[in-house]
Structure 1
Amino acid sequence: MSSSLPILLLNGPNLNMLGTRQPEVYGADTLDDVVRLVERTAAEVGLGVRALQTNHEGEMIDAIHSARGEISGIVINPGGWTHTSVALADALVIPEVPIIEVHISNVHAREEFRHHSYISPLAAGVIAGCGIAGYDFAVRRLATLV
């Protein structure tokens, strides 16, 4: 399978601190490790990658708006915005592409507020609790959808 349009890898707030922030929850892998994993997996399935991590919600929304017509799908770990951002959910429908939601930890085994996602109803798939391997699974699933 090959698409001429890349996938968009989005990572939300605090994910730039992977490897140092709560390694007992998120593991020792860094955001660079995540991006390399996604790029490697995407190359295996014939996809390119555009990656963005931001701690600024408006920047992520702008990136999603700009991606319309330029991407084939989205892999997103919205971080804390998962549970709070209607604005992000509204933006994610704009590109009209499949979305896979990823969480490194099992959000359903954590605090009650983490059990709700504004993104999940928009997603073709949700992967949680698999560590950064969840990103690999997400890219492979997305490749079957694009």
Structure 2
Amino acid sequence: MKILIINGPNLNFLGIREKNIYGTQDYDYLLQMIAKKGEETGCTIEVFQSNHEGAIIDRIQDAYFDGTEGIVINPGAYTHYSYAIHDALASVTMPKVEIHISDITNREEFRKVSVTAPACDKQIYGHGLPGYLEAVDFLLERQGK
């Protein structure tokens, strides 16, 4: 199975920013964890990170044409206001999972609402970095693999 993991703004600063919320593991640790999951499951997993909304939208649209069979997305702050990313997610047909490291329901009021989640098949939040692995498992189960 070919899975695309998209990380939005500031995710590349894991282990640097707000360690009390996002933990002390850095972005390279997350990449290694995901690569290991790909090896264990036989999946091809590509990870894409951008701080730019348009680049994220372009990558979602490219996934429609490149054989991607599932998307995991952590839109970061775009979660709460990017209807453009919502529309891009809604326009592609493969299963999609929105992931958040922290529990967005127990944070500031503006973080409690996701405008992108309705375009996804599942939302996982508050499980830390292992939430990414849960999202991959969901996609594999969804594809019967």
- TM-score bracket relative to the smaller structure: over 0.9
Structure 1 residue aligned with 2:16 = 20
Q: 2:95 aligns with which of 93, 98, 107?
A: 98
- What do residues 94-143 of structure 1 show as CA deviations (whole Å, max 9, x unaligned)? 33110111100000000011111112112221111111011111111111
Q: CA contact under 8 A between 1:102 and 1:135: conserved in structure 2? A: yes
Structure 2 residue aligned with 1:42 = 38
Structure 1 residue aligned with 2:54 = 58
* Pairwise CA RMSD: 1.1
- What do residues 69-93 of structure 1 show as CA deviations (whole Å, max 9, x unaligned)? 3200001100000001000000112
Q: CA contact under 8 A between 2:87 and 2:119: conserved in structure 1? A: no
Q: 1:80 aligns with which of 71, 77, 82?
A: 77
Structure 2 residue aligned with 1:10 = 6
Q: CA contact under 8 A between 1:38 and 1:139: conserved in structure 2? A: no
CA shift, 1:7, in A, is 0.5
CA shift, 1:66, in A, is 1.0
Query: Distance in 2 between the 1:80 and 1:128 partners?
Result: 14
CA shift, 1:46, in A, is 2.4
The gaps in structure 1 that reach 5 residues or longer are none
Q: CA contact under 8 A between 2:72 and 2:96: conserved in structure 1? A: yes
| Higher deviation after alignment, 28-37 or 46-55 | 28-37
Q: Could you tell me the percent identity over the aligned residues?
A: 42
* TM-score normalised over the length of structure 2: 0.93
Q: CA contact under 8 A between 2:31 and 2:47: conserved in structure 1? A: yes
